[in-house]
Amino acid sequence: MLRVLFFASIRERLGSAGIDVVPAPGDTVAALVSRLEAGPLPGCSRWLAAPNTLVAVNQVLGSPDSALADGDEVAFYPPVTGG
Amino acid sequence: MSVQRPEVEVRSADFSVAEEYAALCERAPECGACVVFTGRVRGDGAVGALEALELEHYPGMTERSIAEVLATARTRWPVQAVRVVHRVGRLEVGEQIVFVGVAAGHRGDAFAAAEFVMDYLKTRAPIWKKEHGAAGTHWVESRAADAAAAARWDSDQQETA
């Protein structure tokens, strides 16, 4: 399974802190977003595919092209504001 | 002898600057300079008078990303000891948010490394602030000034390359 996490304003918009998703062969972040849009989270691509939304795969900053494999943790979040 | 503490801590509990400073000097007994910085909750926000800030983070990645910032700082300055404590959760106006301490041989390195750590942390660490005020709540937006401050350190690197 892919462990998909949402943070901050994205979490609020989607009404979900996270969801487990069955991986697909040749999966990428962009493909995952399409599957979430077509499946459990319609309308989510507005936030997940937004230009300034960040994505981390296994806690390392990635991109829509990042490859995904079974067991990966994928997090979507807005620009950070810590410090 | 103080208990060995991690270089990066992300937690809700407050910190004591005096205690952190003492621990830093103990880890770098021959440092000639020790710079400490604290970030605090201001009273003003986008929703007018602020009541509190709520800080959300990504457990695991937050610590990791700050540790990477410290590792990068070490490649650029001869830092002898460094420590970052970043609080999360609900913080009232006037409370401490973040501590950055850098011990080095000389003040130029200590000041520069501390500023670098803050500039990079603010643009890289997965932490998000939500303002709570009388008028409602508002997610703080990232600032161009912060991105520019971080980028400045990158262009400095290119100039010296």
How high is the pLDDT of residue B116? 98
Contacting B with CB below 8 Å, chain A residues are 5, 7-9, 56, 59, 75, 77-83
CA-based nearest distance A30→chain B, Å? 21
Residue B81's region, left for phi above 0, alpha for psi from -120 to 50, else beta, is: beta
**Selected residue with higher pLDDT from B88 and B144:** B88
Q: Do A7 and B56 touch (CB under 8 A)?
A: yes
CA atoms within 13 A on the CB side of B38: 15
pLDDT category at B160 given cuts 50, 70, 90 is: low
Does the pTM surpass 0.90? The reply is yes
B2: pLDDT strictly greater than 70: no
Q: Is the ipTM of this complex over 0.85?
A: yes
Per-residue pLDDT of B36-85, as tens digits, reads 999 999 988 776 789 999 999 999 999 999 999 999 999 999 999 999 99
Give CA–CA dist B22/B29, Å, rounded: 10
One pLDDT digit (tens) per residue for chain A, 83 residues: 999 999 999 999 999 999 999 999 999 999 999 999 999 999 999 999 999 999 999 999 999 999 999 999 999 999 999 99
In single-letter form, the type of residue at position A50 comes to: A
The chain-wide mean pLDDT, for chain A, equals 97
Select from B66, B7, B75, B46 the least CA-distant residue to B133: B46
Span B84-143, pLDDT tens digits: 999 999 999 999 999 999 999 999 999 999 999 999 999 999 999 999 998 899 999 999
